[in-house]
Amino acid sequence: MESVLPATHPATIPRVRRRRWALGAAVVAALALVVAITGTAGHVRACFAALADVHWAFLVALGVLSALHYVLAGITLRAVAEVATPLGETILVQFTAAAANRLTPSGLGAAAVNTRYLVCRGTDTVRAVTSVAVMQVMGAVADLLLLLAIAALSPGSGGTLGLLASRAVEAAGALPVAPALALVAVVAVIALVCGGRVLRSRAAAHALARVLAGCAGLLRRPGDLCLTLLASAATTLVMAVALAVATLAVPGTGVAPADLWIIVTAYMIGSAAGSALPSPGGVGGTEAALVATLTAVGVAAGPALHAVLLFRALTYWAPVPFGAVAARRLSPMTERGI
């Protein structure tokens, strides 16, 4: 079938490249300005200086865990999808979805990429959207089951939950009462107004009905249901272990291999708290929440920051170039699906 997309004039390619370089330079300049204004240059220098003391042998394990995360995400998508997809191709899509997720809040980029992929593989749009939504719902269920299992099987993790809860109460008690109450009231009003509109929306009701029907359909496929829950839980567990490896790689954290489940529990709490913020990919909020949870379980603030930055650099930012390469490889298939 002949493409109906307009041809790109060769003269426009260098112009597009110049714009990309200009955009990149503007982002770097903005980051440098933020560092200069906020006075965090010393912390940035300390983070780079700490790299000289990192135990580099752990970086190989971090790379393997990061790659395994995307393999498990591909397995999860194949389990919930109602159409057969090649495993290797589905894994490449997860790298592309991760790159898209860096620009959008609340996982919208990954959801859009996965939906588009299922459509190109022969699923109609409604079923594709439903499958991706079911994947998100089952992921939340799997994370909750994993957290409960860790708390039940590891005595130290149960203590960690209590410690994190007490630290959260202490932090909340340190906040000024009047501004905190005002903020809670504003958020509650916004939630009630927006939530009421969504509940009264016929489109939202239809969407919710489709998601529930999709979950019911997955329940009628016990094999796919078990695979979805196991792969989703393993995806989170792999990232939690990666954070534990990062804390082992950074000197001064005081973390030993015996503290694995404590760090895993801290990751799950901190990651959930950071993802609740509507920033692109949870950037900023996730790092702050992970540092807070690590310090709550006894890691010094400086090494905790270094460990979190190392963890995010290798598991969050390093896969982005692979996502760009994967997008190029998948583009012919996407064009055929248009």
Q: What is the mean pLDDT of each run of 10 residues along the chain (338 residues)?
A: 43 49 54 49 54 73 91 93 87 87 71 88 86 90 87 64 57 53 64 61 71 86 93 93 89 78 82 65 72 83 85 83 76 54
Q: How many Cβ atoms sit within 10 Å of the Cβ of residue 308?
A: 26
Domain that holds residue 35: 11-53
* One domain, residues 101 and 156: yes
117 and 19 in a common domain: no
Q: How many domains does the chain have?
A: 2
Listed residue (184, 174, 305, 310) closest to 245, CA to CA: 310
Q: Do the domain assignments include residue 158?
A: yes
Asked if residue 303 is part of any domain, the answer here is yes
| Judgement on whether residues 48 and 159 belong to the same structural domain of the protein | no
- Which pLDDT score is estimated for 275? 66
pLDDT at 26: 55
Instruction: Check residue 15 and give its pLDDT.
Output: 52
d(CA 31, CA 295): 26
Q: Flag whether 275 is in a domain.
A: yes
Helix, strand and coil in the chain, % to nearest 5: 80, 0, 15
131, 214 Cβ separation under 8 angstroms: yes
Q: Are residues 41 and 130 in the same domain?
A: no
Residue 198, domain member (yes or no): no
Where is the domain boundary, 53, 69, 85? 53
Same domain, 330 and 239: yes
- pLDDT value at position 78? 92
pLDDT of 177 reads 53
d(CA 309, CA 300): 14
Q: What is residue 237's predicted lDDT score, i.e. its pLDDT? A: 92
User: With contact defined as beta carbons under 8 Å apart, do 70 and 319 qualify?
Assistant: yes
Residue pair 275/283 in contact (Cβ under 8 Å)? The answer is: no
Same domain (yes/no): 63, 84: yes
Q: Same structural domain for residues 61 and 23?
A: no
Distance CA 231, CA 80 (A): 11
Q: Do 130 and 214 form a contact (C-beta atoms < 8 A)? A: yes
Instruction: Classify residue 252: in a domain, yes or no.
Output: yes
